[in-house]
């Protein structure tokens, strides 16, 4: 139930984030992606990276929409201290899947909500994801599906890669791109 008349801006190009919000009855007044440079800094740790990028996305977009609620997020797949790329080509995706095969990794989503009076709230959520050991044939058929494109770590848990994941620990929606219980809490707690 919406209490504020301030507009709600989703600072994301991700259709997954739009669908997730819709699932809890939230439809943004505008979708305005930040479109910033997301290159990690030298030796930047995954948590620091997720916090920095989500904050930059939120700041860029809230500058364009004063007096609005702005939600931005960044989802990072991390193996230890290593940040996996958003897979842009088949080589990225193959490298990611080979690294994830047979082990656990972390998916971190850092959520930023900017309130209409310009206060910035941050919430980082971590989910541990277990991958089964992948056969080369499984990797190749997944590559053909193109489901990895633009996804952090080269897979999407909401698609065919679900067959590779026997267990997760933590929020499922966090892996897809927004942890819905946290987003709902942030919005309700800040007068939305």
Ligand X SMILES: Cc1cn([C@H]2C[C@H](O)[C@@H](COP(=O)(O)OP(=O)(O)OP(=O)(O)O)O2)c(=O)[nH]c1=O
Residues with a known catalytic role: 74
Question: Nearest distance from residue 158's CB to ligand X, in Å?
Answer: 6
Can residue 96 be called a binding residue for ligand X (CB under 6 A)?
Answer: no
Quick one: which of 6, 8, 9, 12 contacts ligand X (CB under 6 A)? 12
Question: Nearest distance from residue 70's CB to ligand X, in Å?
Answer: 12
Mark the segment that binds ligand X (CB under 6 A) among 41-49, 89-97, 173-181, 182-190: 173-181
* N- to C-terminal Cα separation, the chain: 8
Can residue 179 be called a binding residue for ligand X (CB under 6 A)?
Answer: no
Q: How many beta carbons lie within 10 A of that of residue 92, not counting itself?
A: 17
CB closer to ligand X, 117 vs 166: 166
C-alpha–C-alpha distance, residues 100 and 164, integer Å: 10
Question: Nearest distance from residue 191's CB to ligand X, in Å?
Answer: 24
Q: How many beta carbons lie within 10 A of that of residue 14, not counting itself?
A: 18
Can residue 176 be called a binding residue for ligand X (CB under 6 A)?
Answer: yes
- Residues counted in the chain: 192
Can residue 74 be called a binding residue for ligand X (CB under 6 A)?
Answer: yes
Q: Specify the 3-state DSSP secondary structure of 52.
A: helix
Can residue 126 be called a binding residue for ligand X (CB under 6 A)?
Answer: no
Burial of 93 (0-12, 13-18, 19+ CB in 10 A): buried
Q: Assess contact for 104 and 42: CB atoms under 8 A.
A: no
Please identify the residue of the shown chain whose CB is closest to the bound ligand X. Answer: 12
C-alpha–C-alpha distance, residues 10 and 27, integer Å: 9
Quick one: which of 9, 69, 71, 75 contacts ligand X (CB under 6 A)? 75
C-alpha–C-alpha distance, residues 22 and 186, integer Å: 16
Query: Under the rule (CB under 6 A), what is the footprint of ligand X?
Result: 12-14, 16, 33, 38, 74-75, 77, 86, 107, 150-153, 155-158, 175-177
């Amino acid at each position: 139930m919406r209490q504020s008349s301030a507009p709600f801006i989703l600072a994301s190009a991700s259709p997954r984030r739009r669908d997730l919000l819709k699932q809890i009855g939230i439809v943004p007044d505008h979708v305005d992606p930040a479109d910033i440079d997301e290159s990690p800094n030298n030796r930047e740790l995954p948590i620091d990276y997720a916090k920095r990028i989500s904050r930059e996305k939120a700041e860029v977009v809230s500058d364009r929409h004063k007096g609005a609620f702005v939600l931005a997020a960044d989802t990072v797949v991390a193996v230890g201290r290593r940040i996996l790329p958003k897979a842009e080509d088949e080589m990225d995706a193959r490298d990611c899947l080979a690294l994830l095969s047979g082990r656990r990794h972390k998916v971190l989503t850092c959520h930023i909500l900017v309130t209409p009076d310009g206060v910035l709230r941050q919430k980082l959520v971590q989910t541990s994801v277990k991958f089964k050991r992948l056969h080369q044939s499984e990797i190749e058929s997944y590559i053909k599906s193109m489901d990895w494109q633009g996804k952090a770590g080269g897979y999407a848990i909401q698609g065919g890669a679900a067959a590779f994941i026997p267990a997760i620990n933590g929020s499922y929606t966090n892996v897809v791109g927004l942890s819905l219980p946290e987003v709902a809490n942030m919005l309700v707690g800040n007068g939305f």
